[in-house]
Amino acid sequence: MSLIQFKNQNLKKLVHIYQLNYINGKSPGLGDFLRGSFSFMQFSKLYNLEFDIDFSNHPMSKYLKNIKKNDSIDYNNIEIYYNLNLSVERLIDFEKTINNIDPIFINNTINFLNTKNCKVYGFMSNAYPYFNKFTEEGKNFIKSKFEPNTMMKEYIDNSLRELGLNKNGYGVIHIRSGDNHLLNNEGFTMSFLINLKTILNNHILPDRRYLIISDSNILKNMLKGYPNFYILIKPIEHLGGESIKNTDSNGIMNTLLDFYLMSYSNTIISLSTYGHVSGFSKYCSVIYGIPFKYIKI
pLDDT at 181 over 50: no
pLDDT digits (tens, 9 = 90+) for 61-81: 999 998 999 999 999 999 999
d(CA 295, CA 282): 12
The dihedral through the CA atoms of 133, 30, 71, 80 has a sign that is: positive
- If you ran DSSP here, which 8-state letter would residue 99 be given? B
What b/e sequence results for 96-123 when a residue is b if at least 16 CB atoms lie within 10 Å of its CB, and e otherwise?
eeeebebeebbeebbeebeeeeeebbbb
Q: Write down the H helix ranges in 164-250.
A: 179-184, 190-203, 217-222
| pLDDT level of residue 20 (50, 70, 90 thresholds) | very high
Report residue 94's pLDDT band, with 50, 70 and 90 as the boundaries: confident
Q: Provide the pLDDT confidence category of residue 249 given band limits of 50, 70 and 90.
A: confident
- Comparing 14-23, 91-100, 124-133, the range with the smallest average pLDDT is 91-100
Distance CA 49, CA 40 (A): 10
Q: Which residue has the higher pLDDT, 182 or 200?
A: 200
What is the mean pLDDT of the segment spanning 151-173?
98
Is the confidence at residue 139, as pLDDT, over 80?
yes
- The pLDDT value recorded for residue 96 is 81
Is the pLDDT reported for residue 186 higher than 70?
Answer: no
pLDDT for res 101: 87
- Mean pLDDT across 84-89: 78
- DSSP-derived letter for residue 148 is B
**CB neighbours of 262 closer than 8 A, spacing ≥ 6?**
172, 174, 211, 213, 268, 281, 284, 290
Helices in the chain by DSSP H: which ranges? 30-46, 88-91, 103-114, 136-145, 150-163, 179-184, 190-203, 217-222, 251-263, 279-288
pTM metric for this prediction: 0.94
Closest by CA position to 15, among listed 121, 165, 156? 121
pLDDT of residue 281: 97
Q: Is the pLDDT of residue 35 over 70?
A: yes
Domains of the chain are: 13-145 (no CATH), 150-296 (3.40.50)
Per-residue pLDDT tens over the stretch 260-289: 999 999 999 999 888 778 999 999 999 999
Q: What percent of the chain has pLDDT over 70?
A: 95
